[in-house]
């Protein structure tokens, strides 16, 4: 399985943490583990994926029980879609998220994130089309003359 490019184990009632064997899947471009019962610190999970930093384009971990604060995702430069919604994440959104210049979709809804979102979070996100931030504790601080580097197709910020 070392040459595996896509792995989708969604909706399989998987429980517990991520097997350490995932650290050997260095060719992955897409990993979907949504709608399971995975329980692990998100920072430890991201460390497990360190060998796919230069290949991973899609990461779907939504509707699980990942917890902890968001890690630095800057090394995942090819990431186009990141879905971490419906977990137990807390803390702030690191400004390093603005380094994900390939990002087209960012889903962080239904967590306990408490950031002040500023223009610097979006500085290099010119490809961003979908931004889902609902049901968190975000404060938005954007200047009235800010011209975003992207054009959204979908923005969801209810209950922020």
- What structural domains and CATH numbers belong to the chain? 6-156 (3.80.10.10)
CA nearest 79: which of 97, 57, 96? 57
CA distance linking residue 112 with residue 20, whole number of Å: 27
Placement of tokens 């306990």 in the chain: 112
Report residues of the chain scoring pLDDT below 70: none
Q: Would you state the pLDDT for residue 96?
A: 85
Q: Would you state the pLDDT for residue 2?
A: 80
CA distance linking residue 33 with residue 41, whole number of Å: 15
CA distance linking residue 72 with residue 95, whole number of Å: 9
């Amino acid at each position: 399985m070392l040459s595996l490019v896509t792995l989708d184990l969604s909706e399989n009632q998987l429980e517990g943490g991520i097997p350490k064997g995932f650290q050997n899947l260095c060719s992955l471009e897409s990993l979907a583990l949504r709608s399971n019962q995975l329980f692990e610190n998100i920072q430890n999970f991201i460390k497990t994926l360190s060998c796919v930093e230069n290949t991973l384009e899609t990461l779907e971990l939504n509707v699980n029980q990942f917890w902890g604060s968001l890690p630095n995702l800057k090394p995942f430069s090819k990431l186009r879609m990141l879905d971490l919604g419906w977990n137990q994440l807390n803390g702030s959104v690191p400004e390093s998220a603005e380094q994900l210049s390939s990002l087209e979709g960012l889903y962080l809804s239904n967590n306990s994130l408490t950031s002040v979102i500023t223009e610097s979070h979006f500085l290099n996100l010119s490809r961003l089309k979908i931004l889902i931030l609902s049901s968190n504790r975000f404060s938005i601080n954007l200047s009235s003359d800010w011209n975003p580097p992207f054009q959204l197709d979908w923005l969801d910020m209810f209950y922020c």
